[in-house]
Chains A and B, each alone.
Chain A
Amino acid sequence: MTELATAKLSVKALRRSYDNTHAVSDIDFQINQGEFVVLLGPSGCGKSTTLKMVAGLETPCSGSVELDGRDITHLPPGKRQLAMVFQSYALFPHLSVAENILFGLKARRTPADIQQSRLADVVALVNLSDHLHKKPSQLSGGQCQRVALARAIVAEAPLCLMDEPLSNLDAKLRNDMRAELRAIQRRLGMTLLYVTHDQVEAMSMADQIILMNQGEIVQSGSPQALYNNPASTFVAQFIGSPPMNLMNADNLILGVRPEHIHRDINGYPASVVTCDYHGADTIIEVELHDFDQQRIKLRHPGHLTLVPGSAFPVSWEKQYEHYFSCSDGQRINAPQTHSTHQTTTSEMTHVQAL
């Protein structure tokens, strides 16, 4: 129970419903000091609602939120000592960059000399020194994003919330900002709760991912844990691109990731359906003749040009197989590690027995 004592934020049994439909329920998670936690899920899964309840912008029907051991469930947003970056950035359009960043410090009546020194630090950190007197309308999307980030950093709040902060940027900028955001978070030791629907963002930045679907937490853990041991078919398909292949096999669902499938003359007979060149690799979709012509995708390094219909036998190692129940999609074999390599046969019989 040492984890409980050091938890920065602790969310317990949080529930929120609108007009008799559960928006979110049974939300339980903890964030430790300095941790980067990502709330991940498809649109409408309740991740933003959860974030807003932590921020105090929405009221939970039941459950509690504790920050540094203090119950903040019913505190007004301004008294929670949180910083937040909004998806729209929520910059004040009539105020200059400097005034935007200092808004919170002014509202909290921080002494002027502290305001100025913190402002100087933060603009240097996010590279905004040349734009202090501009209005948000004179800035690019990436610069606006930095202002929003600076406004959240300058508060030096114990917990910083971010609601899809990178979703309005173009792909190139988004990649750069991901690395930069992660670097800033590490450097300042910020505790971050970050909401996104983009699994690449979650995988590349998070210490801990909390994956949500239909208002409930489906699985939480490190990016590796979610990738290597998906708890259900939903997790298996949500994490990874292209997602894990799922095949119906003997009243079970068999899952294999595309990068674990390779060409093998002695493998399962299959034929090419489509062939997508991605530069570093080629995504090939094949039809498996032994599995009712089910289609799976595989990742093949380099450039391959294949005529649809041509033979492309494939195989994968048993250690990369995942099994899920046909009825509820839950994982049914024990979590695999790489050392279980030799025991695949016995594992298979175990599965068959089930």
Chain B
Amino acid sequence: MKKLNTLYAWLLLLPALVLLVSFTHAPTILTVWDSFFFAGRAGQPARFAGTENYLLMLEDEVFWQVMANNAWYLIGTVPTSIAIALMMALWVNSKLSGRSLLRLAYFTPTILPMIAVANIWLFFYSPEIGLFNKILDAVGADPVNWLGDPDWALPSLMLITVWKEAGFFMIFYLAALQTINPELNQAATLEGSSRWNSFRRITFPLLLPTTLFVMVNAVLNAFKLVDHLFILTKGGPNNATNLLLYYIYENAFSFFDTHYAATLTVVMLIMLMLLAAIQFGWLERRIHYR
């Protein structure tokens, strides 16, 4: 009887297990496995490389540039979009007329497909007819080649990301704000607490679970960005906007070096896991969950 129950249990788990193993675990293990081999040539099987691929990676200048780009991208987009999202949510949550329209307006960037978004911004950024340069021109400033100048290309991309992510994160903050009993703020106000003090001592601590969730997602998104790069810069100029996932894509499908791509993927996986562990470990301890 007990054996039969165990069999049932496994049978019930089977569909989920098959999907999970074939699309998550097996590719992960295969990727790690692949990263220890060189590509086979002209019908010859792949050669064992040991840590050779990793050593090559450490000498790859583009890899280091991509990592630096990604770090700047992370630092530039994550705190900014979270801060803006929180401010917008606090504002939209207050009693003002036409707030449902405002909420929709903030959420629009999230509804739009990434490719469409990128095309809109391409128009804003284009050197001759672009909106931003028209404005610069109107105030008498020199035009900027937003996406063509290595100094400006990455900040320009970061702006798009902040614009897109802030609206999405705002929805989470808004939902969290609406679960907070308004009497808490009334009580604080009656006790003579200023608006800033109430925010710092009550609202913000109660929003920490949401902040953690949003932060983990923002960090993941910072590493997952590919589609903007396709349309806007293709990683250029001179790798100024090349980010890790796009570099992996280039190696795998443009240079057909799947083993080096696998090596980079392993590095990315380890980094993401470390970042998530740090965030959970650091914040979890100081969060109040209801």
Does A65 belong to the interface (CB within 8 Å)?
Answer: no
Does B184 belong to the interface (CB within 8 Å)?
Answer: yes
Among residues of B, the one whose C-beta sits closest to the C-beta of A163 is: B183
A94 vs B181: C-alpha distance in the bound complex, in angstroms?
A: 13
Q: Which of A6-14, A77-85, A111-119 participates in binding chain B?
A: A77-85
Residues of B within 8 A of A82 (CB): 190
Does A90 belong to the interface (CB within 8 Å)?
Answer: yes
Q: Which of B113-121, B201-209, B231-239 participates in binding chain A?
A: B201-209
Query: CB-defined interface of B180-214 with A at 8 Å, one 1/0 digit per residue?
Result: 01011011111111100100011001100000000
Q: Assuming the A-B contacts A103-B201, A107-B197, are A92 and B191 also in contact, with contact meaning beta carbons closer than 8 angstroms in the complex?
A: no
B192 touches A104 (CB 8 A): yes
Cβ-neighbour of A107 out of B184, B186, B194, B205 (below 8 A): B194
Distance from B208 Cβ to chain A, minimum over Cβ atoms (Å)? 8
A93 touches B201 (CB 8 A): no
Q: Assuming the A-B contacts A78-B192, A107-B194, are A90 and B206 also in contact, with contact meaning beta carbons closer than 8 angstroms in the complex?
A: no
Q: Assuming the A-B contacts A57-B186, A103-B188, are A90 and B181 also in contact, with contact meaning beta carbons closer than 8 angstroms in the complex?
A: yes
B183 touches A77 (CB 8 A): no
Cβ-neighbour of B288 out of A79, A86, A93, A151 (below 8 A): A93
Does B290 belong to the interface (CB within 8 Å)?
Answer: yes
A94 touches B205 (CB 8 A): yes
Distance from A108 Cβ to chain B, minimum over Cβ atoms (Å)? 5
A86 touches B206 (CB 8 A): no
Q: Assuming the A-B contacts A103-B201, A107-B194, A107-B197, are A92 and B189 also in contact, with contact meaning beta carbons closer than 8 angstroms in the complex?
A: no
Does A336 belong to the interface (CB within 8 Å)?
Answer: no
Distance from B290 Cβ to chain A, minimum over Cβ atoms (Å)? 6
B183 touches A86 (CB 8 A): yes
A93 touches B290 (CB 8 A): yes
Distance from B176 Cβ to chain A, minimum over Cβ atoms (Å)? 13
Distance from B114 Cβ to chain A, minimum over Cβ atoms (Å)? 37
Residues of B within 8 A of A107 (CB): 188, 191-194, 197
Does A40 belong to the interface (CB within 8 Å)?
Answer: no
Query: CB-defined interface of A71-108 with B at 8 Å, one 1/0 digit per residue?
Result: 00000111110111010101011110000000110011
Cβ-neighbour of B186 out of A86, A137, A151 (below 8 A): A86
A137 vs B206: C-alpha distance in the bound complex, in angstroms?
A: 14
A90 touches B183 (CB 8 A): yes
Chain A interface category by residue count:
20 to 34
Does A122 belong to the interface (CB within 8 Å)?
Answer: no
A77 touches B189 (CB 8 A): yes
A78 touches B186 (CB 8 A): no
Residues of A within 8 A of B206 (CB): 93-94
Does A286 belong to the interface (CB within 8 Å)?
Answer: no
A90 touches B186 (CB 8 A): yes
Interface residues of A in 252-269 (CB under 8 A from B): none
Does A162 belong to the interface (CB within 8 Å)?
Answer: no
Does A239 belong to the interface (CB within 8 Å)?
Answer: no
Distance from A268 Cβ to chain B, minimum over Cβ atoms (Å)? 52
Distance from B99 Cβ to chain A, minimum over Cβ atoms (Å)? 19
Distance from B102 Cβ to chain A, minimum over Cβ atoms (Å)? 23
Cβ-neighbour of A104 out of B184, B191, B288 (below 8 A): B191
Cβ-neighbour of A77 out of B181, B186, B201, B288 (below 8 A): B186
Interface residues of B in 105-137 (CB under 8 A from A): none
Distance from A19 Cβ to chain B, minimum over Cβ atoms (Å)? 15
A80 vs B249: C-alpha distance in the bound complex, in angstroms?
A: 64
A78 touches B190 (CB 8 A): yes
Residues of A within 8 A of B183 (CB): 86, 88, 90
Among residues of B, the one whose C-beta sits closest to the C-beta of A105 is: B191
B193 touches A92 (CB 8 A): no
Cβ-neighbour of B184 out of A78, A92, A155 (below 8 A): A92
B190 touches A84 (CB 8 A): yes
Give the residue among B191, B201, B202 with the most A Cβ atoms within 10 A: B191
Residues of B within 8 A of A103 (CB): 188, 191, 193, 201
Distance from A287 Cβ to chain B, minimum over Cβ atoms (Å)? 48
Cβ-neighbour of A108 out of B186, B192, B201, B205 (below 8 A): B192
Does A55 belong to the interface (CB within 8 Å)?
Answer: yes
Q: Which residues of A contact B (CB under 8 A)?
A: 55-57, 76-80, 82-84, 86, 88, 90, 92-95, 103-104, 107-108, 135, 137, 151, 155
Q: Which residues of B contact A (CB under 8 A)?
A: 181, 183-184, 186-194, 197, 201-202, 205-206, 288, 290
List 9 extra interface pairs beyond A92-B184, A104-B192, CB under 8 A. Answer: A57-B189, A77-B190, A78-B193, A83-B191, A90-B186, A90-B187, A103-B188, A107-B192, A151-B191
Q: Which 4 A-B pairs have the closest CB atoms?
A: A104-B191, A94-B288, A90-B187, A107-B193
Q: List 15 A-B contacts (CB under 8 A).
A: A55-B186, A78-B192, A86-B186, A90-B181, A90-B183, A92-B188, A92-B202, A93-B290, A94-B205, A103-B201, A104-B191, A104-B193, A107-B191, A107-B192, A108-B192
